[in-house]
Chains A and B, each alone.
Chain A
Amino acid sequence: MTVATGARIGVVTFPGTLDDVDAQRAVRRAGAEPVALWHGDHDLQGVDAVVVPGGFSYGDYLRCGAIAKYSPVMTELVLATGRGLPVLGICNGFQVLCESGLLPGALTRNAGLHYVCRDQWLRAENTTSTWSTRYEPGAEVLIPVKHGEGSYVADEDTLDELESSGRVLFRYVGGNPNGSRRDIAGITDTAGRVAGLMPHPEHAVDPLTGPTDDGLGMFLSALDALVTA
């Protein structure tokens, strides 16, 4: 049931990116045209929004997302966010956005020290950002998490600031899988256009292959914003 909207959403591929095909599929299901963006190109191909998907960019050597920050495509992306380009970072993409300074805080090793893949309940906290208008405030959604380094950390002042300005996007409920401070699963920038989260909405767009289709709302939200913009 794909509705063509004419919107074009870029999906970045670094060497070691894993969930790019899934992000492209989610974009397509939401009704936009996915555009593959290559890490080595200084070119965003004029897309209307960008998803930085999950995986292990450049092997996640040194520190998750630390090398990706220096890629040509990220240089362009950081500049474009200054002009208001909506960006969603998922899992490794969230780590890359934090490393790039687009979002505050960092993601560290899970509290249990194991990689965790499970279906996770989340509560929608901010439903006014570019990526979350399709959710009711307080709605609980079931979306997979799968990561080894997803424990969100920031200093207390930053955490307070995120809370008071409504920049916490989703919070873990029914158990925190990784020890994130204040159960934070995802956050946005001050404008609400750049968002990052550890859970994988692109793996919850079809109940056949995911636990639910609860994740589709994030992509539909962005499309709403692009179409009305």
Chain B
Amino acid sequence: MTHSDLPETVRPDSVEHARETPELAQPHRELGLAEDEYQRIRDILGRRPTEAELAMYSVMWSEHCSYKSSKPHLKYFGTTTTPEMRSKMLAGIGENAGVVDIGDGWAVTFKLESHNHPSYVEPYQGAATGVGGIVRDIMAMGARPVAVADPLRFGPADAPDTRRVLPGVVAGVGGYGNCLGLPNIGGEVVFDESYASNPLVNAMCVGVLPSQDLHLAHASGTGNKLVLFGARTGLDGIGGVSVLASETFEGDESGGGHKKLPSVQVGDPFTEKVLIECCRELYGAGLVLGIQDLGGAGLSCATSELASAGDGGMRVDLDEVPLRASGMNAAEILSSESQERMCAVVRPGDVEAFMKVCAKWDVPATVIGEVTDGENLEIYSGDELVVDVPPRTVAHEGPVYDRPVERPAEQDLIAADNPNTLERPETPEQLRATLLRMTASPNLASREWVTSQYDRYVRGNTVLAQPSDGGVLRVDEDSGRGIAVATDCNARYTRLDPYEGARLALAEAYRNVAVTGATPMAVTNCLNFGSPEDPGVMWQFQQAVRGLADGCVELGIPVTGGNVSFYNQTGAKPILPTPVVGVLGTIDDVTRRIPTGVGEEAGETLLLLGETGEEFGGSEWARAEHDHLGGKPPQVDLARERLLAEVLRTGSRDGMVSAAHDLSEGGLAQTLVETTLIGECGARVVLPEGADPFVWLFSESAGRVLVAVPRSEELRFTEMCVARELPCTKIGVVDAESESLEIQDVADIPLTELREAWEGTFPRLFD
């Protein structure tokens, strides 16, 4: 049966009908609602919910939308944030995205979100619509999106399924983001067995706006109009409701199972690009009172969010919604996740001007309802009232679960599995071979195969992008003010110790912003974990949240928002706990940014800031050479990270530092390889007297940065480090004449050989 064969008018399941048929069996379990949750809906409404109401509650009360398992833990972010940390925050947790004041009248909004499961099912569209969704979140803050970054995680690099998923995801991120005209300025690509059937596709978007233009999703003022604009509403991406379509309601003439609905949405980036420009013009003309993007749960989410954030009720007429499929019922229209749609609250007198702007950009726009002086969200389909609910009960008063939390006994076994007993390379030949093998290993090799598929130049404000540690973007062309962003997480560390692992992820993202010369100022996150019904996973989650929140207090920067993705597991085995941390920083003058590659100035000195210990727990060496994960993660000292950031900022401001590169996975060896290859310039390295070359080259001690300083600045810089008590070790010189990386008494490796190792891996795996 095709859609055109459907009867033109199907009588919707109305509120009146629900009152008449209290005992009608409803498919709440199939929609993911537990028995007590369903009963709670009946109690709230004083009757059974209509089909449309059931669809709304089921999606809005889902884990994804309601944070029902994470809420009790996420509160910790709020309770630990001090007024001082909050001083630069214009909007925080609970809004579509956090907003911070960066000075000179500019505000920046940024957020990370996951699109993990759709990207496994359909890599291209899953990743593409992930970008589209986070970009609309940023637009809903009244901002102009200015950049994206994508932290990605996949199963083993050489697994056949990774060759299916990775190229599709990368093409999807690029295909959508490139078409929007947003430079991609960062991200990660990580491989681990635990992501084999559950890749992590996280997407970050950054937006800027004049501070006074902040638009929050509010629908106040009786008589104000609700305008739906952007793409038409279709049958795509109706997740939970597809169950409804295959369940036969008695008396429902539409019959059962007539619609096969794709559960992954299809994106149209062109429509979104036009929507971005259209929104900017609408905001600029002051035509928008409140705005909300349509993402997960579509109109049900947008209308209930807008209504519950306002002070009145709302009336919506579904007959006004422009559709692209015939025969859609009320529940389907409300739950459709068709992409590229926004919903605005507009003064009646501004509607004509609003429509005119939309017409200029060829964006369909329709008044679908208005703010009322009532209390409920009332939705009509024809003359029938199909939804009549208190909006807060849908959007904000869903169930909350205090899930059992239990530290798994195996944590002690993992901690006891000491990596220092693993066999190490000893001779110079063995060290040289280890360095080359690690450089070529999938987790350390060049990501250019990925990043060259992303536009990093568009709009002409990109000052640093990959392969730099952090992306730097100019915000104000006149003053040179800019921002820096980085995302990081070493989930192997988090597996060994979720509390310390989260602090390490925070430390690394913070450091990666600091090495650009920027001042870190705010944090977002995307917390990817296994099933919340597993007490061991909930323990990981609880510990990671606490580690991240406590770490933010130590660093004095707030968490402004974030996203939780649970159920990342196949069967009983969850993914490595992966709390991806995004840090945003500001830089007064982007011409002062510190590049990653050496050789900018003739004759630079290489200084290693921080201390190196024997720390191999969770290290890349242990994985690449021994497939080992055990022991303790590196120690993290956040006071030291703050000091490091201050020294780098001063170094950048006073022109004392010509290059800087963070030390993380792969240790000093990897940092030396990258900084010489990126700078296309050789270096001679002399490790300190008595140093164990293996430990110095491959340990992953935190809080370390390699800097190159012009010879003329060396004394001034080292004296500053001494004065501030930051350990600083001279480990070599940059040599413009040399075409190799020479590590005295260890190896002298031509840059061509290093480059071949570093750049050969991805094309070999994925071309």
Contacts and interface: CB of A to CB of B under 8 A. Distances in A.
Q: Do A and B bind each other?
A: yes
B273 interface: yes
B455 interface: yes
B274 A16 contact: yes
B451 to A, nearest CB: 8
Contact of B179 (A16, A22, A209): A16
B334 interface: no
Contacts of A25: 460
A115 B458 CA distance: 14
A15 B179 CA distance: 11
B516 to A, nearest CB: 13
B178 A209 contact: no
B391 to A, nearest CB: 35
A51 B260 CA distance: 47
Nearest to B766: A114
Interface in A71-124: 112, 114-118
A208 B463 contact: yes
Contacts of B463: 208-209
Nearest to A15: B274
Interface in B260-277: 268-271, 273-274, 277
Contacts of B401: none
Contacts of B460: 21-22, 25, 202-203, 206, 209-210
Interface string B456-481: 11111111000000000010000000
Interface stretch (A3-11, A42-50, A55-63, A160-168): A55-63
B461 A56 contact: no
Contact of A18 (B174, B453, B458): B458
B268 A59 contact: yes
Nearest to B278: A15
A95 to B, nearest CB: 14
Contacts, number: 83
B179 A56 contact: yes
A134 interface: no
B273 A18 contact: yes
Interface string A25-67: 1000000000000000000000000000001101111000000
B181 A18 contact: yes
B270 A59 contact: yes
Contact of A146 (B271, B361, B455, B591): B455
A171 interface: no
Contacts of B274: 15-16
Contacts of B453: 114-117
A18 B273 CA distance: 9
B498 interface: no
A199 to B, nearest CB: 11
B458 A56 contact: no
B337 to A, nearest CB: 21
A203 B457 contact: yes
B452 interface: yes
Contacts of A202: 460
A209 B185 CA distance: 12
Nearest to A210: B457
A56 B455 contact: no
Interface in B175-192: 175, 178-181
A19 interface: yes
Nearest to B270: A59
B365 to A, nearest CB: 15
Contacts of A209: 457, 460-463, 474
A55 B179 CA distance: 7
A144 to B, nearest CB: 5
B493 interface: no
A117 B182 CA distance: 13
B361 to A, nearest CB: 7
Interface string B209-253: 000000000000000000000000000000000000000000000
Contacts of A203: 457, 460
A148 B452 CA distance: 11
Contacts of B522: none
B458 A15 contact: no
B178 A22 contact: no
Contacts of A18: 179-181, 273, 458-459
Contact of A61 (B175, B270, B767): B270
Contacts of A210: 457, 460
A69 interface: no
A193 interface: no
Most buried by B among A117, A144, A148: A117
B354 interface: no
B273 A56 contact: yes
Given A22-B457, A59-B269, A115-B178, 17 more contacts: A15-B270, A18-B273, A19-B459, A22-B460, A56-B273, A114-B453, A115-B171, A117-B451, A118-B452, A144-B457, A146-B178, A146-B458, A203-B457, A203-B460, A206-B460, A209-B463, A210-B460
8 nearest A-B pairs in the assembled complex, by CB-CB distance: A59-B270, A18-B181, A22-B460, A203-B457, A146-B455, A115-B453, A56-B179, A15-B274
21 contacts: A15-B270, A16-B274, A18-B179, A18-B181, A18-B459, A21-B460, A22-B458, A22-B459, A22-B460, A25-B460, A58-B270, A112-B767, A115-B174, A115-B175, A115-B453, A117-B455, A148-B178, A208-B463, A208-B590, A209-B457, A209-B461
Interface of A: 15-16, 18-19, 21-22, 25, 55-56, 58-61, 112, 114-118, 144, 146, 148, 200, 202-203, 206, 208-210
